[in-house]
Structure 1
């Protein structure tokens, strides 16, 4: 069931801006967070959830509507916070269903495709557990206005690693600010930079991209082929970064990459909560 609202409201001087949609991926429950919903963690100074702060940041740049991809498990609590209209912005909910043979969802390409029937304009797709920062968001909107879509911000590796522990990161290789490829690297830590395995200046993807609705046809075909090749795969995923690699390799369509000086705030581990709450100034709050 989708809740679709056609109401359009202007925000400030947004009449002069190119309207765009935001698609939030919020269908997952985090085992690291005790199966709590990370986007609903109250990291704001006044108790605002991470999702609320993120929507407010986007609203300043011409956001026309919000589409939240949820699961049957996450929908009730997400809807309780975001409602059907959030600060004058209409909210739509789309459900991502996980096949019974799977241990986890099919990945971010499948999640985004769950919203294809309600997206009718340029859109930014992003994680619900990350605050991406003013510089990154304003540049995304700027590139939408220039029709440079697909596009994405590239964050310096040193700025996206946790203080402690290891994470997976997607290293972005570019040529003249155009994407060459995105390569997933696993179990990276600050120690790897200290040991010289990475310089720290490598660009990385934090799973925020801008597209137009015409991307959905390519995505559907790629996911269909992936499912045919992995008919009983219980946990592997087909993700947006892999899809962008395929887009360039198979169609020659390029993705614009711009380096951002923002340090994003992400809830990966429970110990990140305090850091995010105490460093909101890094992303413009």
Structure 2
């Protein structure tokens, strides 16, 4: 059974100032998602599932259906605010949904095969998709998941601090993941993060999460009780978010599942700030010029 690619595309893109998930970066207006889908198809993924907000559905379908028709199966998952579907009998007033792990839960009735989760606005590189496809077809199990681990110094922006999930790795397995909210290059080119006003050095080879996870559908049943507990604990906190690393950390602590850290030396790039856009465009242009991608992905 071919694995599924689940793309997190329901975010508001608040820092970017527009709907970056459908912004053009390639020579023919290709979005970052286009490159992920292209790499996933080549790696052997059989279905693309978009997690979006229902009001964006027409815009997404208009962009992606014409070019993907006949190439790969597509599917749409809607993330919403309805808590009754999880057996929660009260409402919580929020400005946006409950975060990435809640978004994954939204797909629980539509995915029945091993799958991986990625962000819509991150460029991951073909190597990551090839390695994840291999894991999902040969090694994944209900108690054995994976994460693609990027070198932190190959994931930073020149235009400000970024948040990174820093992986603590032992014998190739993740034993903990710590969210560092302000990670950056120092003037001397070294890497550091700031926590409560204190600066700490970070080894440039440290593996970090760029939200590229591999699961079986068992993760839905494993994470749903965690989500219900999270909502109960945070019903008075309208900004609290139920992130995938919280699920991973919980599964590792209880011993329900392990996470293999699959290393890649690929350079990640993404658009956190408006100023990142020309850098992403130049990076993609370079990959087109060296033959990694065709000049027109879908021609």
TM-score, normalised relative to structure 2: 0.84
* Among 8, 14, 25, the residue aligned to 2:8: 25
**Matching of residue 48 in structure 1 with residue 15 in structure 2:** no
Looking at structure 1, the residues matched to 202 and 255 of structure 2 have their Cα atoms a distance apart, in angstroms, of 31
Structure 1, residues 5-54: CA drift from partner, whole Å, max 9, x if none?
Answer: xxxxxxxxxxxxx51111111111212222x2222111112211222221
The alignment's TM-score, normalised by the length of structure 1, stands at: 0.88
Conserved 8 A contact 2:45-2:133: no
Aligned counterpart for 1:208 among listed residues 209, 212, 215: 212
Give the secondary structure class of the aligned counterpart of 2:211. Answer: coil
Contact 1:171-1:204 at 8 Å conserved across structures: yes
The Cα shift of 1:245 comes to 0.6
Work out whether 1:174 is the aligned partner of 2:157: no
Q: Aligned equivalents of 2:265 and 2:12: distance in 1?
A: 30
- Alignment partners' CA distance in 2, 1:222 and 1:282: 41
Alignment match of 1:120 (pick from 103, 108, 112) = 112
Q: Is the 8 A contact 1:155 1:206 kept in 2?
A: yes
Give the root-mean-square deviation of aligned CA atoms: 1.9
Question: Counterpart of 1:46 in 2: which secondary structure?
Answer: coil
- 1:135 & 1:178 partners in 2: Cα distance? 19
CA shift, 1:98, in A, is 3.4
Aligned match of 1:66 in 48, 61, 65? 48
Change (3 A) 1:282 1:246: farther
Of the structure 1 ranges 192-201 and 70-79, higher mean CA displacement relative to structure 2 is found in: 192-201
Question: Hey, what's the Cα distance between the residues in 2 that align with 1:229 and 1:29?
Answer: 24
Distance (whole Å) between structure 1 residues aligned to residue 114 and residue 206 of structure 2 = 28
Q: Pick from 69, 80, 101 the counterpart of residue 93 of structure 2.
A: 101
Correspondence list, 1:160-239, <5 A: 160-191=155-186, 193=190, 197-239=201-243
In structure 2, how many angstroms separate the alpha carbons of the residues matched to 1:194 and 1:63? 35
